[in-house]
């Protein structure tokens, strides 16, 4: 081994955030994220604009991550990058950059599955963060993903259930659009929901067998509900915004918790970890806290900056794979639909 300490550069470019992070063993030295504001005007991520923004961002973001970490690029032990799943054009930017830099520095290249990375973010060493013991259940909830995974060890994962249509974050964002809120709407719905009555309006939960999820019906139900009510009261949304948000949130979190409880019951596992942007949600946090007291779960929520898309989670997988000498060939390809 070249250094006593292992320094990993992680690169994430699967969706609309360009991110680079430096890890020294399992500790973060830097984690730089450039958000792409451009998509807000379109109410969702525009793939072509995302890849162009990644191209503009990648060099300065990597440079900043190395500088913030206070190391020189010659000290790097390996480069880890997101191979997939994600938007092809966006993935290609990170993949090509990682390959050329690793080749230029003559160090190993490590490909990372973005979904595994959301889960393994729990293994970043942080003060006051306990790492989940194996086996545990991980629920990844974001604008792009909704998945429950049984994690038997760092690299042995089994998807128990996932969404068959929209992701949970999309359910928030699309409901927000119907209500005239900005994008992404999740944080705002969460804020307004805390001022409203969660039982003011009832939305039926989708009937999906097993541990899979479906959110597209809910979005349509909310649209029809708003259209119907505004016919009789044109100010319906404005007059009832907090209650509508609280009722939507109550329904969505109910769907997530029902499936999580079923997964815990079926597997007998009581260590439950969550990740992804929606894990910032106050209601899911409260529901998990209640489950600790009422059903004896132990729950794990990573620091916020490691729950949304970021390169620190890519770098920790790079570190764990480095220890196993699990390196990639230089002809590895970005893959939009990569399974766990
Ligand atoms: O992980 P993330 O930053 O990006 C990906 O989608 O990969 O997640 C963003 C999603 C958006 O859909 C946003 O509306 C949602 O997470 N979100 C929330 C909250 N904060 C972010 N949804 C509900 N409550 C929140 N507090
Ligand atoms: Zn993600």
CA 238 to ligand 2 center in whole angstroms: 33
Ligand nearest to the CA of 307: 1
Shortest-distance Cα residue to atom 24 of ligand 1: 281
Which residue in 153, 137, 166, 140 sits closest to 262, CA to CA?
A: 137
Residue 215 CA to residue 175 CA, distance in Å, equals: 11
Q: If you measure from the C-alpha of residue 86 to the centroid of ligand 2, how many angstroms do you get, rounded to a whole number? A: 8
Distances (CA, A) of 60 to 32, 35, 87: 10, 13, 21
Provide the pLDDT for residue 337. 94
What is the whole-number distance in angstroms between the Cα of residue 64 and the centre of ligand 2? 22
pLDDT computed for residue 15 by the predictor: 87
Q: Whose CA is nearest to atom 20 of ligand 1?
A: 187
d(CA 237, CA 185): 15
- Which of ligand 1's atoms lies nearest the C-alpha of 167? 12
Q: Locate tokens 């942080």: which residue? A: 126
Nearest ligand, CA of residue 115? 2
pLDDT at 16: 84
In the sheet that holds 27-35, the strands lie side by side as 27-35, 17-24, 7-12, 78-84, 109-113
15 lines ligand 1 (CB under 6 A): yes
All residues with CB under 5 Å from ion ligand 2: 142, 309
Look at residue 3 in the predicted model and tell me its pLDDT. Answer: 52
Rounded Cα distance between 146 and 139, Å, is 7
- Supply the angle between the helices 88-105 and 47-69 in degrees, to the nearest 10: 30
Q: Is the CB of 94 under 6 A from ligand 1?
A: no
Ligand closest in space to the Cα of 142: 1
Which pLDDT does position 29 carry in this prediction? 98
Q: What sign does the dihedral 203-206-210-214 (CA atoms) show?
A: negative
Q: What is the 3-state secondary structure (H, E, C) of 165-198?
A: CCCHHHHHHHHHHHCCCCCCCHHHHHHHHCCCCC
d(CA 244, CA 226): 9
CB 310 near ligand 1, within 6 Å:
no
The response to whether residue 57 sits with its C-beta less than 6 Å from ligand 1 reads no
Please tell me the number of the ligand nearest to residue 117's CA.
Answer: 2
Q: In which element (H, E) is residue 56 found?
A: helix 47-69
Nearest 5°: the CA angle 238, 241, 245 is 155
For residue 173 and ligand 1, the question of a CB distance below 6 A is answered with: yes
What is the mean pLDDT, run by run of 10 residues, along the chain of 340 residues?
82 93 98 86 83 93 98 97 96 98 98 97 92 98 95 98 96 96 94 98 94 95 97 97 98 98 98 95 96 97 91 98 97 94
Binding site membership of 101 for ligand 1 (Cβ less than 6 Å): no
Q: Whose CA is nearest to atom 6 of ligand 1?
A: 143
pLDDT given at position 210: 96
Q: Is 274 in the pocket of ligand 1 (CB under 6 A)?
A: no
């Amino acid at each position: 081994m070249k250094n006593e300490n292992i320094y990993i550069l992680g690169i994430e470019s699967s969706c609309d955030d360009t991110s680079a992070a430096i890890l020294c063993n399992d500790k973060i030295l830097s984690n730089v994220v450039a958000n792409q504001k451009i998509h807000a005007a379109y109410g969702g991520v525009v793939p072509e604009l995302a890849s162009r923004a990644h191209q503009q961002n990648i060099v300065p973001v990597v440079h900043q991550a190395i500088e913030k970490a206070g190391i020189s690029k010659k000290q790097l032990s390996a480069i880890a990058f997101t191979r997939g799943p994600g938007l092809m054009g966006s993935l290609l930017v990170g993949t090509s950059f990682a390959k050329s830099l690793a080749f230029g520095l003559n160090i190993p290249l490590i490909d990372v599955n973005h979904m595994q990375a959301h889960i393994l973010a729990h293994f970043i060493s942080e003060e006051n963060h306990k790492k989940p013991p194996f086996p545990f259940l991980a629920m990844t909830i974001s604008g792009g993903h909704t998945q429950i995974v049984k994690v038997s060890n760092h690299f042995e994962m089994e998807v128990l259930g996932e969404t068959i249509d929209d992701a949970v974050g999309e359910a928030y964002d699309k409901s927000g659009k119907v209500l005239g809120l900005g994008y992404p709407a999740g944080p705002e719905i969460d804020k307004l929901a805390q001022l409203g009555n969660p039982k003011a309006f009832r939305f039926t939960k989708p009937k999906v067998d097993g541990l899979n999820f479906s959110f597209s019906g809910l979005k349509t139900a909310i649209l029809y509900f708003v259209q119907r009510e505004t016919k009789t009261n044109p100010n319906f949304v404005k007059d009832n915004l907090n209650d509508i948000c609280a009722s939507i949130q109550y329904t969505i979190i109910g769907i997530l918790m029902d499936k999580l409880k079923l997964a815990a019951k079926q597997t007998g596992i009581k260590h439950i970890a969550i990740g992804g942007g929606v894990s910032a949600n106050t209601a899911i946090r409260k529901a998990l806290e209640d489950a600790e007291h009422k059903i004896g779960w132990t729950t794990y929520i990573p620091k916020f900056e490691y729950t949304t898309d970021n390169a620190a989670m890519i770098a920790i997988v790079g570190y764990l794979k480095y220890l196993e000498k699990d390196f990639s060939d230089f002809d590895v390809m970005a893959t939009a639909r990569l399974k766990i």
